[in-house]
Structure 1
Amino acid sequence: MRQTQKLSLAASQRLTVMGRMRMADWIEMPERDFAREIAKLEKDPLFQKLYFGNGRIPGAFRRQRWPGGRLSGSFYEIDERTAAGSGERVGVEEFAQTRGPALAAIKRMGQKDFERYFLHGEDSLTLEEIGRRTNLSAEEVRSIHELVVELGARAEFETTTEAPTASPGRQAACLAQISLTGGVPSFEFYAPYWARGLYQVRHDLLDRWKDGGLSPVERKHLPGLLKRLETFNLRQSTLYRLLEMVARLQVDFLKSELAVDVRPISLRQLAKRLDLAPSTVSRAFARRSVQLPSLREMPLIAFVPGRRCVLRELLG
């Protein structure tokens, strides 16, 4: 019996380590690759069924916004060329043909309706009902949803930033612009999937779907889909917690943007505050940046310079 318990404990520990390793890979994954995973998830027929509902049973999947996050106004300034993410004529023309009408529809409906019905999905509505409220067909509604998840993987959401520990020209994804309101940081995210926040599952509605709204094949597929949502949420919430924490800790620097106001915080100290491994924080900050209130871009790793780096900067 004791031997069995030891084996069970060892197996559990291995699973925990394996889980951490997989999550570390997700956290380290470049933003464009993660955006493609989001697109695959949200184009899954079962996800769409459980998100939009069918008129008889409301959608069981919702969105939970970040408390201090919103979509950057620059999103509404993109055109077909920048959204296509390629300077090649063929790529732009192909995008204009397939997604151009959806991009134009977003601009016609305005920011308020777009964010209500397409970005955040504040109401649990079917494709048809969203179309009725926005004067769009169900296919146009679906095309806009697909466009929104595709845009995060486009090149416009990546910039070239020189991080202190990276070689020149290393690609970094600029996640957001930090703003200060009353001394409290908030974030204007550039990619729609970041501005949307986390996935939320209404388990009471999910039970109704299980009881009479899913086929045997869909019920078999459901656990994997839910696990995917959980993984994506854990990845995003970890990154957001780190982003929020460094912004709060470095709020004096964000106000002045002077080196003298940078707090000497180390990766290890930040990891301890959030009960994370230092390696997780290091992976999270790699190849990611933000824009300061002045619009100057800064690698996330520069927010945790450590005492030696701060002294070197001040004395140098």
Structure 2
Amino acid sequence: MYCENAVSLKQTAGECNLSISEVKKLMELVNNVSLYNEFYHPSTLSLNSRVHYTKVASVSKNGSERGCLLINFFSPQWVRGIYKIDYDKLEYLKSGKNFSEEELKRLNGLIKDIELINTRKTTLYKVLQGIVEKQKTYFNSGDIGNLQPQQQKELAEKINIDSSLVCRAIKGRSIDTPQGEEKPLKFFFSGEKAKIESALRNIMTRPYTDEQISDRLKKQYKINRDRRTVREYRNKLKISSGVHWNKNNDKK
């Protein structure tokens, strides 16, 4: 469906023993299937957020190899750049004075746009690979206590791109974890603060005192925070402690 090499309609028609009109119809079908595939995996995060998310992939465990994780893109076009540029032929055409100055200017602008599209596709692939590698333990366990703090700048340096490109690649995009939870890509760059807040939300499904919460943070998530710090986080998240819950129940 997604050929790596740039092939003309005429060449495709000849190799497949089809007419050019038939090739065009098939290409239109492939494009429609690709678009349908992307919309077939809608994000649920957008329902409770002002940000519109596009779910681009899922991370799954490789059953044949323990601990190995696979990135499954919902559309092959997310994996790599979809346009191939024959730079040698392009330079040959330019040197032959086949274009006016205005046409050359427009052509150069078009090439830059195509290169940018390809770079963004490739960047997303590299970013996801970097996230999965860094958060391998988290993806395998689903335990937020195993989530490793990571900065966008850190990943950018590792995959040798500018940090601004990482920021653009993760904006408004999400993935499914092996546990079936959808997470925005920015979730993996939230750091220690977001880790504590998420752990608190998980713990407070039942009424606990700040001391009990502190103990559970340490035992379940390997997070050491005293009662005062727990109270500050809890107040910020507007979560009542077990003491308040018990008082409210007594009033009833």
Cα deviation digits, residues 204-244 of structure 1 (max 9, x gap): 23233335595557655321221112221232233332222
- Paired with 1:172 and 1:247, the residues of 2 have a C-alpha distance of 19
Cα deviation digits, residues 133-184 of structure 1 (max 9, x gap): 3343212222333444466556715623327xx9447431111122444445
Which of 185, 192, 205 is 1:307 aligned to? 192
- Paired with 1:153 and 1:173, the residues of 2 have a C-alpha distance of 12
Q: What's the offset of the Cα at 1:263?
A: 1.5
1:239 aligns with 2:124: yes
Amino acid at match of 2:53: A
1:261 aligns with 2:142: no
1:172 aligns with 2:57: no
Structure with the higher strand share, 1 or 2: 1
Could you say which residue in structure 2 is the equivalent of 1:222? 107
Q: Retained in 2: the 8 A contact 1:161–1:171?
A: no
TM-score (norm 2): 0.61
Cα deviation digits, residues 247-304 of structure 1 (max 9, x gap): 1101112222222322232445445545634x65444323211122344432212222
Q: What's the offset of the Cα at 1:246?
A: 0.8
Distance 1:132 1:223, change over 3 A: same
1:191 aligns with 2:75: yes
**5+ residue gaps, structure 1:** 1-114
- Paired with 1:250 and 1:263, the residues of 2 have a C-alpha distance of 6
Amino acid at match of 1:205: K
TM-score (norm 1): 0.50
Amino acid at match of 1:242: V
- Paired with 1:209 and 1:150, the residues of 2 have a C-alpha distance of 33
Q: Retained in 2: the 8 A contact 1:175–1:288?
A: yes
Distance 1:209 1:235, change over 3 A: same
RMSD over equivalenced CA pairs, Å: 3.5
1:131 aligns with 2:13: yes
Q: Retained in 2: the 8 A contact 1:266–1:307?
A: no
- Paired with 1:203 and 1:264, the residues of 2 have a C-alpha distance of 41
Distance 1:180 1:160, change over 3 A: closer
Distance 1:179 1:211, change over 3 A: farther
Distance 1:160 1:140, change over 3 A: same
- Paired with 2:167 and 2:106, the residues of 1 have a C-alpha distance of 34
Q: What's the offset of the Cα at 1:129?
A: 2.7
1:160 aligned counterpart, secondary structure: coil
- Paired with 1:213 and 1:169, the residues of 2 have a C-alpha distance of 51
Structure with bigger gyration radius: 2
**5+ residue gaps, structure 2:** 204-252
Amino acid at match of 1:276: D
